[in-house]
Amino acid sequence: MGGLTIIVPVKAAVPNVTAVRLDPVTHNLVREGVPLMLNPYDRNALEFALRLKDKYGGKVITISMAPPSGKDFLESTIGMGADEAYLITDRAFAGADTLATSYTIAKSVQKLFPDFDLLVFGEETTDSTTAHMPAQVASWLNLPYVYYAVDAEVKLEDRLILVTRYLEDEGVYETYEYKMPIIVSVYKNSNPPRDVSLVRKVEAKINGLVKSIDNNALKLERECIGLRGSPTIVAKIEDAKPIERKKQIFKGDPKEAAKWLLDNLIKEGVVKP
Amino acid sequence: MSAVQAQQKICSEWNPVNKNDYKGIWVYVEYVNGVIKDGSLQLIGKARELASKIGTDVTAIMIGSNLGDVVKEPIYYGADRVIYVDHPALAKYIPHVYANVIVQLANKYKPEIILFAATKRGRELAPYVANSLRTGITADCTELDVDPKTRDLDQVRPTYGGNILAHIRTPTRRPQLASVRPNVFPTPPRDTSRKGEIIAETVDSLPNINGQGLIEVRSVTKGEELPPVEKADIVVVAGRGVGSADGVKLLTELAKLLGGTIGGSKKVVDAGWLSADRQVGQTGKTIRPTLYIGVGVSGAIQHVFGMKESKIIVAINSDPNAPIFQYADYGVVGDYRDVVKELIELLKSKKI
Single-letter code of the amino acid located at A51: R
* Per-residue b or e along B166-192, where b marks 16 or more CB atoms closer than 10 Å to that residue's CB: bbbbbebbbbbbbbbbbbbbebbeeee
Could you tell me which residues are beta bridge partners of residue B35? B32
Single-letter code of the amino acid located at B12: S
Minimum-distance CB partner of A20 among B160, B209, B350: B160
Q: Which residue of A has its CA nearest to B125?
A: A135
Cα distance from A133 to chain B (closest Cα, Å)? Answer: 8
- B286 and B165 together in one domain: no
Q: How far is CA B266 from CA B298, B299, B331, in A?
A: 11, 11, 21
- B124 and B249 together in one domain: no
Q: Which residue of B has its CA nearest to A123?
A: B124
Order of strands across the sheet that contains B58-64 = B137-141, B176-180, B113-117, B25-28, B58-64, B81-86, B197-201
Q: Work out whether strand B35-36 and strand B31-32 pair parallel, antiparallel, or are unpaired.
A: antiparallel
Whether residue B264 lies inside any domain: the answer is yes
Q: Which residue of A has its CA nearest to B340?
A: A258
> Which has more pLDDT, B182 or B54?
B54
Minimum-distance CB partner of A148 among B120, B140, B338: B120
- Contacting residues of B for A172, CB less than 8 Å apart: 33, 217-220
- B254 and B142 together in one domain: no
B248-261 pLDDT tens trace: 999 999 999 999 99
Q: Residue B170 is part of a domain; what is its CATH number?
A: 3.40.50.620
Is the Cβ–Cβ distance between A13 and A123 less than 8 Å?
no
Cα distance from B58 to chain A (closest Cα, Å)? Answer: 23
- B193 and B238 together in one domain: no
With helix as H, strand as E and coil as C, how does A45-79 read?
HHHHHHHHHHHHCEEEEEEEECCHHHHHHHHHHHH
Could you tell me which residues are beta bridge partners of residue B102? none
- B324 and B274 together in one domain: yes
Share the mean pLDDT of chain B. 93
User: Does B223 have pLDDT greater than 90?
Assistant: no
Q: What is the pLDDT of residue B222?
A: 57
Whether residue B1 lies inside any domain: the answer is no
Q: What is the pLDDT of residue B33?
A: 87
Whether residue B74 lies inside any domain: the answer is yes
The boundaries of the domain holding residue B62 are 19-201
Whether residue B60 lies inside any domain: the answer is yes
Minimum-distance CB partner of A144 among B96, B162, B304: B96
Whether residue B173 lies inside any domain: the answer is yes
- B169 and B29 together in one domain: yes
Is the Cβ–Cβ distance between B150 and B110 less than 8 Å?
no
Is the Cβ–Cβ distance between A85 and A196 less than 8 Å?
no
pLDDT band at B1 (very low <50, low <70, confident <90, very high): very low
Is the Cβ–Cβ distance between A39 and A125 less than 8 Å?
yes
Distance CA B117, CA B114 (A): 10
CA-wise closest residue to B317 among A238, A250, A213: A250
Is the Cβ–Cβ distance between A240 and B164 less than 8 Å?
yes
- Contacting residues of A for B325, CB less than 8 Å apart: 247, 249
Cα distance from B200 to chain A (closest Cα, Å)? Answer: 26
Say if the Cβ atoms of B326 and A17 lie within 8 Å. no
Share of chain B above pLDDT 70, in %: 95
| Domains in chain A, CATH or no CATH each | 4-229 (3.40.50.620)
pLDDT band at B2 (very low <50, low <70, confident <90, very high): very low
Cα distance from A76 to chain B (closest Cα, Å)? Answer: 24
Three-state DSSP state, A256: helix
With helix as H, strand as E and coil as C, how does chain B read?
CCCCCCCCCCCCCCCCCCHHHCCCEEEECCEECCEECHHHHHHHHHHHHHHHHHCCCEEEEEEECCCHHHHHHHHHCCCCEEEEEECHHHCCCCHHHHHHHHHHHHHHHCCCEEEEECCHHHHHHHHHHHHHCCCCEEEEECEEEECCCCCCEEEEEEEHHHCEEEEEECCCCCCEEEEECCCCCCCCCCCCCCCCEEEEECCCCCCCCCCCEEEEEEECCCCCCCCCCCCCCEEEEECHHHCCHHHHHHHHHHHHHCCCEEEECHHHHHCCCCCHHHEECCCCECCCCCEEEEECCCCCHHHHCCCCCCCEEEEEECCCCCHHHHHCCEEEECCHHHHHHHHHHHHHHHHC
Q: Residue B264 is part of a domain; what is its CATH number?
A: 3.40.50.1220
Distance CA A259, CA B116 (A): 44
- B257 and B197 together in one domain: no
Q: What is the pLDDT of residue B5?
A: 45
- B168 and B288 together in one domain: no
Is the Cβ–Cβ distance between A123 and A186 less than 8 Å?
yes
Q: What is the tally of structural domains in chain B?
A: 2
Domain end marker among B201, B222, B247: B201
Whether residue B214 lies inside any domain: the answer is no
Q: What is the pLDDT of residue B8?
A: 73
Single-letter code of the amino acid located at B112: E
CA contacts within 13 A on the Cβ side of A266:
12
Say if the Cβ atoms of B124 and A265 lie within 8 Å. no
CA-wise closest residue to B83 among B127, B37, B28: B28
Distance CA B283, CA A24 (A): 27
Whether residue B318 lies inside any domain: the answer is yes
- B177 and B87 together in one domain: yes
- B261 and B326 together in one domain: yes
Angle between helices A133-141 and A98-112 (to 10 degrees): 50
Is the Cβ–Cβ distance between A245 and A234 less than 8 Å?
no
Domain end marker among B201, B219, B250: B201
- B163 and B261 together in one domain: no
- B157 and B280 together in one domain: no
DSSP symbols for A178-242: EESSEEEEE-TTSSPPPPPPHHHHHHHHHTT-EEEE-HHHH---GGGSGGGG---EEEEEEEPPP
Is the Cβ–Cβ distance between B159 and A236 less than 8 Å?
no
B91-144 pLDDT tens trace: 999 999 999 999 999 999 999 999 999 999 999 999 999 999 999 999 999 999
Q: What is the ipTM of this complex?
A: 0.89
Minimum-distance CB partner of A270 among B130, B136, B312: B312
First to last CA, chain A: 72
> Which has more pLDDT, B351 or A57?
A57
- One digit per residue, the tens of pLDDT, for chain A of length 273 reads 579 999 999 998 876 655 567 777 777 777 766 777 899 999 999 999 999 999 999 999 999 999 988 898 999 999 999 999 999 999 999 999 999 999 999 999 999 999 999 999 999 998 888 999 999 999 999 999 999 999 999 999 999 999 999 998 888 999 999 999 999 999 998 999 999 999 999 999 999 999 999 999 999 999 999 999 999 999 998 887 767 899 999 999 999 999 999 999 999 988 988
Is the Cβ–Cβ distance between B178 and B116 less than 8 Å?
yes
Q: What is the pLDDT of residue A54?
A: 97
